[in-house]
Copies of this chain bind each other. A is one copy, B any other.
Amino acid sequence: MTLNPADPPFLTALRADLPEAAFRAPEPRYLEEPRGRWAGQAAAVLAPGSVEEVSTILRHAHAARVPVVPYGGGTGLVGGQISAEGPTPLLLSLERMRAIRSVHPEENVMIADAGVILSDLHEAAEAAGRLFPLSIAAKGSARLGGLLATNAGGVNVLRYGNARDLCLGLEAVLPDGQIWHGLRRLRKDNAGYDLRNLLIGSEGTLGVITAASLKLHPQPAGEGTALMVVPDPRAALSLLALARMHLGEGISAFELLHRAGLEFLAETMPETRQPFDTMPDWFVLIDIGLARGLDPATALETLFAEALEAGLVSDGMIAQSEAQRAAFWTVRETIPEANRRIGSVSSHDVSLPLGAIPDFIVKGAEVLAGIGDFRINCFGHLGDGNLHYNVFPVAGRSRADHLDDRDRIKRAVHDLVHEMGGSVAAEHGVGRLKVEDLERYGDPAHLAAMRAIKAALDPAGIMNPGAVLRGP
């Protein structure tokens, strides 16, 4: 089935059915992506102001077989928002749909348009005395629709789940223009197939999310943060188990960090204050939020004392103020920027069964040693089994020296992850970057079902063609 470009007659027909405000020039910012890997194309950028306008656009596109690429904040790391080939698409930006439609503090629910920026969701929840816990580095520009379409994760997944777990209902437009009014505020609803979770994580290939009903949480009464030095990743896992015994669901984040991250900070941002006098090989950042009646600092001290006795930690710092908490988090959040400045040869967003992580780290280093001499910065959301496994040149060399190694490294790391029961698309999704990986590592029955579902819901194949599944 062939697609057609969004040519002038098509755009003229669209203009007849849409207000002028819905049309945007295809400025360069819409056609770039953070990794600089793709240059996108678009015949027009459409910024509809309502779900009805989204429906109008998709009806036209469906009838004319014109591709549509949904666009949120443009922060995706796998090229899901960029169409670089095929007939010129429409780019459909949700940027004008940015209302918080309603907040229901007594229900712990908030309903928001897909174009709302994540940090605005945080503020709206906070204004109602509640917490919207989804948090990622790009929170100042990522929009709700994209966060849901990619099932975003971030630092609080351990406690609150990913975007999927924070969504109660959706309003969305299906590829033929039908509007699904599914903005329910219900915690239990078994009336039919789970279309919500099918659209979440489908990266714009099955429809356009226009609004969502979101779960809010109580704000923890007290929060605390600690850095603890662990002898190795296996001890970090045991420390996580111990922390769970102590603190139950109170652990908001449990991040594993490696010496390489601190070295990269020292190398690229020497002005950043180092947390330790002597850089440890491995350490963890633990963030907790507790209900009334427990003091977070005391709870972390008790945990530390027991972990010290058990040989799981050798050193540690417990934040004594909000400023110190923020400083600990700055270390964690600055490492990705330090990575960028060093320039990775290859970076991997992978997840593994928790128990397999220590072995994976050992085997990964062995596999890479067989390819060449590299520095590895392996860090991430240990509590979720989600590692950012990034490979860098040794000091004095640059990524340009290793262009020929990239594919080999990627294949070796991904093969290892797959063998150990992991996922090579843990948190950032498939986009256009990992379509071949999905074909290689995906379960054949799962892929067959995905293709059948795609053909059933989007028979013309207009929605984000080439993302997730190979294009027509």
User: A residues near B, CB below 8 A?
Assistant: 104, 106-109, 150-151, 153, 157-158, 162, 164-165, 174, 178-182, 184-195, 197-198, 200-202, 206, 218, 220-221, 237-238, 241, 244-250, 289-294, 299, 302, 351-355, 381, 383-386, 421-430, 434, 437-438, 441-450, 452-457, 468
Starting from the known contacts A108-B354, A189-B423, 5 additional A-B residue pairs (CB-CB under 8 Å) come to A104-B355, A188-B351, A190-B423, A192-B438, A248-B291
- B450 x A195 contact (CB < 8 A): yes
Q: A292-B245, A292-B246, A353-B107 are in contact. Are A192 and B447 (CB under 8 A)?
A: yes
Chain B residue at minimum C-beta to C-beta distance from A247: B291
CB distance from A250 to the nearest CB of B (A): 6
- A446 x B192 contact (CB < 8 A): yes
Chain B residue at minimum C-beta to C-beta distance from A428: B190
- A449 x B386 contact (CB < 8 A): no
CB distance from A260 to the nearest CB of B (A): 22
CB distance from A103 to the nearest CB of B (A): 11
- B426 x A188 contact (CB < 8 A): yes
- 3 tightest A-B CB contacts, nearest first: A248-B291, A456-B456, A197-B197
| Alpha-carbon distance A192/B201, docked complex (angstroms) | 7
- B449 x A188 contact (CB < 8 A): no
- A182 x B249 contact (CB < 8 A): no
| Alpha-carbon distance A355/B449, docked complex (angstroms) | 39
- B250 x A443 contact (CB < 8 A): no
Chain B residue at minimum C-beta to C-beta distance from A431: B190
Residue among A192, A289, A293, A441 with max Cβ neighbours from chain B (10 Å): A192
**Residues of chain B with a CB closer than 8 A to A454's CB:** 193
Query: Is the contact region of chain A dominated by helix, strand, or loop, or is it mixed?
Result: mixed
CB distance from A460 to the nearest CB of B (A): 13
Q: Can you list 24 A-B contacts (CB < 8 A)?
A: A106-B241, A107-B354, A107-B355, A151-B194, A162-B188, A186-B353, A186-B423, A187-B386, A188-B381, A188-B384, A188-B427, A189-B423, A190-B201, A191-B424, A191-B434, A192-B446, A194-B197, A194-B200, A195-B446, A195-B449, A198-B453, A248-B291, A452-B457, A455-B456
- B107 x A178 contact (CB < 8 A): no
| Alpha-carbon distance A317/B187, docked complex (angstroms) | 28
Q: A193-B453, A218-B244 are in contact. Are A446 and B186 (CB under 8 A)?
A: no
**Residues of chain B with a CB closer than 8 A to A150's CB:** 190
- B197 x A237 contact (CB < 8 A): no
Of B108, B353, B383, which one neighbours A185 at CB under 8 angstroms? B353
Chain B residue at minimum C-beta to C-beta distance from A154: B188
- B174 x A449 contact (CB < 8 A): yes
| Alpha-carbon distance A424/B195, docked complex (angstroms) | 17
Q: A220-B248, A452-B457 are in contact. Are A351 and B441 (CB under 8 A)?
A: no
**Residues of chain B with a CB closer than 8 A to A198's CB:** 193-194, 197-198, 453
**Residues of chain B with a CB closer than 8 A to A201's CB:** 190, 193-194
Of B180, B200, B427, B434, which one neighbours A449 at CB under 8 angstroms? B180
| Alpha-carbon distance A442/B193, docked complex (angstroms) | 11
**Residues of chain B with a CB closer than 8 A to A422's CB:** 186
Chain B residue at minimum C-beta to C-beta distance from A200: B194
CB distance from A447 to the nearest CB of B (A): 7
| Alpha-carbon distance A422/B190, docked complex (angstroms) | 11
**Residues of chain B with a CB closer than 8 A to A453's CB:** 193, 198, 453, 456-457
| Alpha-carbon distance A249/B352, docked complex (angstroms) | 27
Of B190, B248, B446, which one neighbours A426 at CB under 8 angstroms? B190
- B181 x A443 contact (CB < 8 A): yes
Chain B residue at minimum C-beta to C-beta distance from A423: B189
**Residues of chain B with a CB closer than 8 A to A456's CB:** 452-453, 455-456
Q: A299-B293, A353-B104, A445-B180 are in contact. Are A188 and B249 (CB under 8 A)?
A: no
